[in-house]
Amino acid sequence: MKKDKVSSLIKKEEKRQKKVINLIPSENYVSPAVLKALGSVFTNKYSEGYPGSRYYSGQGNMDDAENLTISLACKIFKCKYANVQPLSGAMANWAVYFGLLKPGDKILAMDLSHGGHLTHGHSATHISKIFKFIFYITDEKTGKIDFKKLEKTALKEKPKMILAGFSSYTRSLDWKKFAGLAREAGAISVADISHIAGLVAGGVLENPFNAGFDVITTTTHKTLRGPRGGMILIRDNKLLAEKINKSVFPGLQGGPHMNNILAKAVCFEEVLSPSFKKYARQILKNTKAMEKVFRQNNVEMVFGGTDNHMILIDTTKNFGISGEEAQGILEKSGINVNKNVIPNDTRKPADPSGIRIGTPAVTTRGFKEKDCERTARKIITLLVSRREANKSTKIEL
């Protein structure tokens, strides 16, 4: 591809990102400093191994960068060990499974349609063929996790790992109950906080380590507002840390992307600033502002509302249209959301019953409560208009 074509694509994407209202919960905008690190000469260096133990020469600056990133991660999340090499959140989860378990071991995790994630054992993934996943779900009426059922399942199945975390669950998890249940069942406790890492780092949501969790996995983008990548945090167990390190390299990955690790350090320095705490608080305020508008307009929210940065809406029930159609309607009007499955969804994942709405990216752009209220009203107006149009033409779902 010609250089001018590449430049043109970059400019077009910059323009698109600036003009849309981005409500996709897993997306955000990194700072110019993070972008600069990603485009730095650190991308030129192979650094297989870990600081002080590499397989190539010329590693002084790479070691310093990785050690800095590790120390910042441990400071933010109040833990003793961190592996900052995972190329993604999926890779971080897999490294934990392979590092701490044996093939065939049981993992108790949240079902995908009830808010879990593909990497938590969905049958479409390769990982589900290696480990035996058992799933817990939310209560249809309350939208909360039935811990009595969860405890009964855990004590009966005796999983080797209990995984707490989500990709579309909008309520807070009781980390203490999960950690206590893991201890009772003799399981390793792992919290996947990929979606809420920035809210935990900003002090507005509880840190699972404070509740006694053994391991945390996370992405470094989303609410954390850093480069796309993953990270594994270990509270204080050196043996677990050593096993996880070996699982990441050489178990799953080769040379880490040092430009990305450097960009993670830049992000973590930003996270430690007072302005990031203000940003985290504003995310919650903005989401609650949207929740208020939906509630006032009788739009039922899956799980009954939100305690974090996102809202899940059943568009088939509220507006008589599928999640894919709702996503397309909103995109044409400059609003980006993502189609999403809902609990016990009767529709296919490619065209599910719901949409997922989040506020991290618009909060970075400076949105406050009133802006989010206006946006929520616009979403309702657009989807109601399509519902009425569909009624007049008798379109069946």
pLDDT classification of 397: cutoffs 50, 70, 90? very low
């305020």: which residue's tokens?
285
Task: List the chain domain ranges.
Answer: 32-271, 280-391
Instruction: Select which of 54, 228, 264, 356 is catalytic.
Output: 228
Instruction: Select which of 27, 29, 46, 144 is catalytic.
Output: 46
Task: Using DSSP, state whether 166 is helix, strand or coil.
Answer: coil
Pairing of strands 106-110, 161-165: parallel
Instruction: Select which of 66, 160, 169, 192 is catalytic.
Output: 192
Instruction: Select which of 170, 217, 218, 219 is catalytic.
Output: 219
Q: Distance between CA atoms of 97 and 166, rounded to whole angstroms?
A: 17
Fold for the domain defined by 32-271: Aspartate Aminotransferase; domain 2 (3.40.640)
48 has catalytic annotation: yes
201 and 224 in contact (C-beta within 8 Å)? yes
pLDDT classification of 112: cutoffs 50, 70, 90? confident
Query: What confidence score (pLDDT) does residue 393 get?
Result: 59
363 has catalytic annotation: no
Q: Give yes or no on whether 32-271 and 280-391 have one common fold.
A: no
243 has catalytic annotation: no
**178-194 pLDDT, tens digit each:** 999 999 999 999 999 99
CATH code that applies to domain 280-391: 3.90.1150.10
46 has catalytic annotation: yes
How would you list the strands of the sheet with 310-314, edge to edge? Answer: 310-314, 354-358, 338-340
The pLDDT mean for the chain works out to: 95
Query: What confidence score (pLDDT) does residue 396 get?
Result: 47
Instruction: Select which of 27, 29, 48, 151 is catalytic.
Output: 48
Calculate ∠ Cα 358-37-226, nearest 5°. Answer: 20
Calculate ∠ Cα 54-55-56, nearest 5°. Answer: 95
Question: Length of the chain, please?
Answer: 397
222 has catalytic annotation: yes
pLDDT classification of 81: cutoffs 50, 70, 90? very high
169 and 144 in contact (C-beta within 8 Å)? no
pTM equals 0.95
214 has catalytic annotation: no
**232-271 pLDDT, tens digit each:** 999 999 999 999 999 999 999 999 999 999 999 999 999 9
Least confident segment among 7-16, 117-126, 196-205, 295-304: 117-126
Let me know if 269 is exposed, middle or buried by CB neighbors in 10 A (0-12, 13-18, 19+).
middle
- Other beta carbons within 10 Å of 246: 15
Q: Distance between CA atoms of 71 and 86, rounded to whole angstroms?
A: 16
